[in-house]
C-alpha cells in the first residue's frame, strides 16, 4: 500500500533531515499548514516573532552563527512583503536563507485576467524579490516540491551563497503526495565553470613575483573568509608570508588584536593607522572582500593608489566592476578561497625568505601615534563612546558572540574593540538595517552553542524591532543588551554637521523623534535593567551585566554630541580622515605623495 503525506508535512520533514532545528515565523492564513506541519515534526521547532522582518532577521542570525542555512516562514501579502528588508540583509552579505511563503490558492490567483488581485492578500512576491534572491519560484504542481526544495537549497549554498524563496499556494500545501514518486533535482557535476578570470595556479609566476618584490604589503581579509570556513587556512597563510593584515568589518574578529600581524579595521570608518598602512602600501592582496566603497573610499581611484593590487573573489561580477571606476588591478583571480588555499599550499615554501620587519615596525609606529584613546579621559562626567567600548573590551566574556547594530554603534565598536580569538562579531555589513541585531541575536540563541550572546544597539535601532523583546520573556533568553543611547541618530547628525549646517531635522528629539522610558520598557518584558551616564561606573555596570543569568538591558546614556571620529569625509582619500591632522604633520607621516593637501590650510 502506497503511503502518502501532506505536502506541508513533506516540507517540514525535509528541513529536519537537513539539520534545521528552528524555523522563524509569524502565522497567517496562507502559511498555517506549513507551521502546523513543523509543529508535529520531530527535531524541529518554530519560534514566533512579532514582525516578519524580525523573523527574517532572526533566521539570518541563525544562519550566520550555524553555518547551515536559516529558514523563515510567512503568509502571503503583507506577511511576505514584510520579509524583504531581512532578505536584503542575507542577499548583500551572501548568507544562505530559505524563505517559504504561503500564497493564495491557485484557483484564486489573478492569472492573465489583468486585475490587481483576486485572492485575499494575493501578492506577486516572487516578482518582487527576484532582484534580491539567488532563486525564487512559485509552486504550481505539488509533484515538483522535492525538486524545487533541493534546487533552491543547492543554489542557496553553492558558490556565492544567498537567500532563495519558494512560494507555495495554500491549496497545494494540503495536497497529499507520494514521496517515493517525487522527482529530485539533478545536481550539476563538479565541472569547473568557465571564467574570463584565472585561478591562482594559472598565473602563479606573476603572483609570486608581485609578492617577492613587495616591501610594504598589506593582506586584506573580508567576510568571505568566514563564509568559506577558511579562517585557519587564512591565518596559516598570513603567518607563513609574514604579511600585516588589515580587516574589513566582516573579518574584524579574524585575528586577535594582540597578534603580531594585526593591523586593524580600515576604510571610511576605520582606524586612522590602518588607513595609513593600506594607503601607503606597495602591494594589496585582498582575500574574500569585495572592496566596496566603504573600504576603498571615494573616488575609488584614490584607494592604495601607488600599490600593486591582487584580488581573489568567487564572484566574477565583483572582479569586473573596478574597470567601470578606473581602478586598475595587476591580478584578478576568480576562485573559492577553499580552492585558493589548496592551490597555494604546495607553493608556500617559495616565500620562506619573506620578512617585513621594518614595515611592521612602521605600522606599529603609526598605531602609537594615532592611538584613538590617548586623549580620552576616563573620569569625565559623561560617557564617551570610545572610552565606553575600550572598557567593554577589557570585560567582554570569552566565547561570546557580539551582534552589533548599524550607525555609530558599529563604527565605534570597530574602531575600538580589542577582540580575542574566541570572540565573534556579527553585523549585517552591507544592508546595515536599523534593528537587525536584536532579532539576529535571538535567532542565534536557538542554536544553543553560545555561552554569551551580546546585542549592541543604538536607541534608534532598538525602536525598529523593539517588539522582539517579547521573545526574551517567552523563551527565557539570557540576552545581554547594551543600549548605546544618545537620544537620536548620531550618524545622521554627523552628516548634517558636514553638509546641512548642523540642523538635526528628523534625527533628534527636537527634530521630531521620540523614545520610551527604557526602565518601564524593561519592566514590561521582565528584563533586568540598569542605566548610567557616568564613566567611573562603567566597569561595575558591565560586571553586573555579564554576571546576570537573565536577560538584561544596560542603558548607557552617552553624549548627544558624540560622533564617529576619525571618519573620512566624502571626496577625501582614506588616509586623510577628519578631524584633519595638521598638514605638515600629515605630510611627514605619509610615504606616498598625499592628495588634496594643496587645498588645505597649513
Same domain for 425 and 365? no
Neighbours of 194 (CB within 10 A): 5
- Count structural domains, the chain: 3
Q: Are 552 and 500 in contact (CB under 8 A)?
A: no
Nearest to 452 by CA among 474, 484, 420: 420
Among residues 369, 397, 416, the one where a domain terminates is 369
Same domain for 11 and 123? yes
For 285-297, b where at least 16 C-beta lie within 10 A, e where not — what string?
bbbbbbbbebbbb
Q: In what order do the strands lie in the sheet with 22-25?
A: 45-48, 22-25, 70-74, 97-103, 163-169, 135-138
Same domain for 95 and 162? yes
Task: List the Cα angle 229/232/236 in 5-degree steps.
Answer: 140
Same domain for 265 and 309? yes
Among residues 149, 181, 213, the one where a domain terminates is 181
The answer as to whether 259 is a domain residue is yes
Same domain for 68 and 154? yes
Range(s) of the domain holding residue 252: 200-369
Q: Is pLDDT above 90 for 3?
A: no
**CA 464 to CA 233: how far, in whole Å?**
38
Same domain for 151 and 300? no
Among residues 181, 209, 239, the one where a domain terminates is 181
The answer as to whether 96 is a domain residue is yes
Same domain for 398 and 506? yes
The answer as to whether 338 is a domain residue is yes
Q: What is the pLDDT of residue 448?
A: 73
Same domain for 392 and 337? no
Same domain for 348 and 410? no
The answer as to whether 596 is a domain residue is no
- Residue 293: which CATH number? 3.40.50.1220
pLDDT digits (tens, 9 = 90+) for 21-35: 999 999 999 999 999
Nearest to 382 by CA among 562, 579, 564: 562
Residue 1's pLDDT band (cuts 50, 70, 90): very low
Q: Is pLDDT above 90 for 395?
A: yes
pLDDT digits (tens, 9 = 90+) for 258-315: 999 999 999 999 999 999 999 999 999 999 999 999 999 999 999 999 999 999 999 9
pLDDT digits (tens, 9 = 90+) for 95-116: 999 999 999 999 999 999 999 9
The answer as to whether 285 is a domain residue is yes
- Residue 89: which CATH number? 3.40.50.970
User: What is the share, in percent, of the chain residues with pLDDT greater than 90?
Assistant: 92
Q: Are 385 and 376 in contact (CB under 8 A)?
A: no
**CA 268 to CA 458: how far, in whole Å?**
20
Residue 375 CA neighbour count, 13 Å, CB half: 5
Same domain for 534 and 401? yes
Same domain for 486 and 410? yes
Average pLDDT, the chain: 94
pLDDT digits (tens, 9 = 90+) for 449-507: 567 999 999 999 999 999 999 999 999 999 999 999 999 999 999 999 999 999 999 99
DSSP β-ladder status, 308-313 and 97-103:
unpaired
**CA 411 to CA 407: how far, in whole Å?**
7
**CA 529 to CA 337: how far, in whole Å?**
44
Residue 122 CA neighbour count, 13 Å, CB half: 16
The answer as to whether 443 is a domain residue is yes
**CA 459 to CA 486: how far, in whole Å?**
7
The answer as to whether 375 is a domain residue is no
Q: What is the pLDDT of residue 196?
A: 86
Same domain for 362 and 393? no
Identify the three-state secondary structure at position 480: strand
The answer as to whether 587 is a domain residue is no
Q: Is pLDDT above 70 for 142?
A: yes
Residue 488 burial (C-beta neighbours within 10 Å; 0-12, 13-18, 19+): buried
Q: Are 480 and 452 in contact (CB under 8 A)?
A: yes
Q: What is the pLDDT of residue 378?
A: 52
**CA 230 to CA 340: how far, in whole Å?**
10
**CA 93 to CA 438: how far, in whole Å?**
18
Neighbours of 546 (CB within 10 A): 16
Q: Are 566 and 272 in contact (CB under 8 A)?
A: yes
Q: What is the pLDDT of residue 316?
A: 96
- Give the mean model confidence (pLDDT) for residues 121-141: 97
Q: Are 573 and 599 in contact (CB under 8 A)?
A: no
pLDDT digits (tens, 9 = 90+) for 226-238: 999 999 999 999 9
Neighbours of 585 (CB within 10 A): 9
Amino acid at each position: 500500500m502506497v503511503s502518502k503525506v501532506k505536502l506541508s508535512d513533506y516540507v517540514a520533514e525535509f528541513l529536519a533531515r537537513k539539520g534545521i532545528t528552528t524555523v522563524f515565523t509569524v502565522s497567517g492564513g496562507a502559511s498555517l499548514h506549513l507551521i502546523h506541519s513543523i509543529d508535529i515534526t520531530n527535531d524541529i521547532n518554530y519560534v514566533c516573532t512579532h514582525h516578519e522582518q524580525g523573523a527574517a532577521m532572526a533566521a539570518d542570525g541563525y544562519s550566520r552563527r550555524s553555518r547551515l542555512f536559516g529558514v523563515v516562514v510567512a503568509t502571503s501579502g503583507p506577511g511576505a512583503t514584510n520579509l524583504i528588508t531581512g532578505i536584503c540583509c542575507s542577499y548583500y552579505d551572501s548568507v544562505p536563507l530559505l524563505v517559504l511563503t504561503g500564497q493564495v490558492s491557485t484557483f484564486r490567483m489573478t492569472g492573465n485576467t489583468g486585475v490587481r488581485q483576486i485572492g485575499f492578500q494575493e501578492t506577486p512576491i516572487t516578482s518582487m524579490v527576484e532582484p534580491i534572491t539567488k532563486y525564487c519560484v512559485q509552486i504550481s504542481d505539488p509533484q515538483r516540491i522535492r525538486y524545487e526544495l533541493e534546487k533552491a537549497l543547492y543554489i542557496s549554498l553553492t558558490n556565492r551563497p544567498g537567500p532563495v524563496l519558494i512560494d507555495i499556494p495554500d491549496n497545494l500545501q494540503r495536497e497529499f503526495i507520494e514521496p517515493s514518486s517525487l522527482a529530485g533535482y539533478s545536481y550539476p557535476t563538479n565541472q569547473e565553470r568557465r571564467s574570463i578570470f584565472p585561478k591562482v595556479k594559472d598565473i602563479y609566476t606573476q603572483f609570486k613575483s608581485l609578492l617577492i618584490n613587495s616591501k610594504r604589503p598589506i593582506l586584506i581579509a573580508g567576510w568571505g573568509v568566514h563564509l568559506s570556513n577558511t579562517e585557519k587556512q587564512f591565518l596559516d597563510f598570513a603567518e607563513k608570508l609574514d604579511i600585516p593584515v588589515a580587516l574589513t568589518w566582516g573579518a574584524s574578529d579574524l585575528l586577535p588584536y594582540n597578534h603580531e600581524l594585526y593591523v586593524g579595521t580600515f576604510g571610511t570608518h576605520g582606524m586612522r593607522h590602518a588607513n595609513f598602512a593600506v594607503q601607503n602600501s606597495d602591494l594589496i592582496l585582498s582575500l574574500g572582500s569585495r572592496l566596496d566603497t566603504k573600504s576603498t573610499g571615494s573616488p575609488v581611484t584614490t584607494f592604495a593608489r601607488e600599490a600593486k593590487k591582487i584580488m581573489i573573489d568567487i564572484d566574477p561580477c565583483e572582479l569586473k566592476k573596478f574597470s567601470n571606476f578606473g581602478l586598475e588591478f595587476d591580478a584578478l583571480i576568480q576562485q573559492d578561497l577553499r580552492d585558493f588555499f589548496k592551490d597555494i599550499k604546495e607553493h608556500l615554501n617559495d616565500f620562506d625568505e619573506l620578512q617585513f620587519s621594518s614595515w611592521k615596525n612602521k605600522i606599529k609606529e603609526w598605531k602609537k601615534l594615532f592611538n584613538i584613546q590617548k586623549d580620552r579621559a576616563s573620569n569625565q562626567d559623561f560617557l564617551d563612546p570610545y572610552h565606553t567600548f575600550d572598557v567593554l573590551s577589557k570585560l567582554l566574556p570569552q566565547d561570546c558572540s557580539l551582534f552589533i547594530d548599524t550607525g555609530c554603534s558599529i563604527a565605534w565598536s570597530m574602531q575600538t574593540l580589542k577582540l580575542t580569538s574566541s570572540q565573534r562579531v556579527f553585523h549585517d555589513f552591507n544592508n546595515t538595517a536599523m534593528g537587525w541585531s536584536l532579532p539576529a541575536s535571538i535567532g542565534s540563541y536557538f542554536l544553543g552553542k553560545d555561552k554569551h550572546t551580546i546585542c549592541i544597539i543604538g536607541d534608534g535601532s532598538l525602536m525598529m524591532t523593539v517588539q522582539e523583546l517579547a521573545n526574551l520573556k517567552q523563551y527565557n533568553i539570557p540576552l545581554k543588551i547594551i543600549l548605546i543611547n544618545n537620544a537620536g541618530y548620531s550618524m545622521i547628525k554627523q552628516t548634517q554637521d558636514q553638509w546641512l549646517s548642523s540642523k538635526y531635522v528628523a534625527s533628534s528629539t527636537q527634530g521630531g523623534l521620540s523614545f520610551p522610558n527604557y526602565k518601564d520598557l524593561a519592566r514590561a518584558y521582565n528584563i533586568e535593567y540598569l542605566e548610567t551616564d557616568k564613566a567611573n561606573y562603567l566597569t561595575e555596570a558591565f560586571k553586573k551585566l555579564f554576571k546576570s543569568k537573565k536577560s538584561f538591558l544596560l542603558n548607557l546614556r552617552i553624549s548627544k554630541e558624540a560622533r564617529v571620529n576619525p571618519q573620512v569625509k566624502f571626496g577625501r582619500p582614506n588616509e586623510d580622515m577628519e578631524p584633519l591632522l595638521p598638514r605638515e604633520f600629515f605630510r611627514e607621516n605619509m610615504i606616498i605623495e598625499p592628495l588634496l593637501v594643496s587645498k588645505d590650510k597649513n
